[in-house]
Amino acid sequence: MKNLKIKNANKIIFIENKANYIDYIQNKMQKDEFVVYHGGMYGPIKGQFFKNIYEASRNSEFYHWSDIDIGGLKIFIRLQNIIHELIPYKMDIEAFYSKKAYWKDMSKDYRKKLLELKKQLDYNCFDNLIDEMLKNNSKLEQEAFI
């Protein structure tokens, strides 16, 4: 892909989950937004595509929305390696507590893995969220927001 142009987009939102992506573009998308279906962990080709989007719209704000779980946090951090200004979208304490009825319990092994993530400097933007997840022994899937 060459010469990509994204016009009139002040906000670029990457959404991991397909159901949430469809719901967002049908019901919540604003006129100044460009929304991208992410689809989970990505390979080099999709990573280049995301880089092209970033380079075509450097004056925009960039957001990413994933599950509030280990996978979602890892996807965010990986995308942040391409888009340094990336901001979590509905991946914070307020969003987590807003869908308490949909929380899923974590196993002991899962908790250990989450604690290991917290030790990594890349994840310090999620320290408070991880603390709340551990305190409540819970994680949250994106689908709860549909």
What's residue 105's pLDDT?
A: 98
84-93 confidence digits (pLDDT tens): 999 999 999 9
> Please, which residues bridge with residue 37 across strands?
15
CATH for the 11-145 domain, from 1.10.260.40, 3.40.1360.10, 3.90.950.20, 1.10.3720.10: 3.40.1360.10
Is the predicted pLDDT of residue 3 greater than 80, yes or no?
A: no
Computed over every residue of the chain, the mean pLDDT equals 95
| Band of pLDDT at residue 133, cut at 50, 70 and 90 | very high
Arithmetic mean of pLDDT, 14-42: 95
Beta 61-65 vs 33-37: how paired, if at all? unpaired
- Segment 44-81, tens digit of pLDDT: 989 999 999 999 988 899 999 999 999 999 999 999 99
Per 3-state DSSP, the chain is made up of helix, strand and coil in percentages (nearest 5) of 50, 15, 35
User: 3 near 53, Cβ under 8 Å?
Assistant: no
Please report, rounded to a whole number, the percentage of residues in the chain having pLDDT higher than 90: 86
Domain coordinates of the chain in residue numbers? 11-145
**Nearest-angstrom CA–CA distance, 103 and 93:** 13
**pLDDT beyond 90 at 7:** no
Q: How confident is the model at residue 119, as a pLDDT?
A: 94
What pLDDT is attached to residue 1?
A: 61
Overall residue count recorded for the chain in this entry: 146
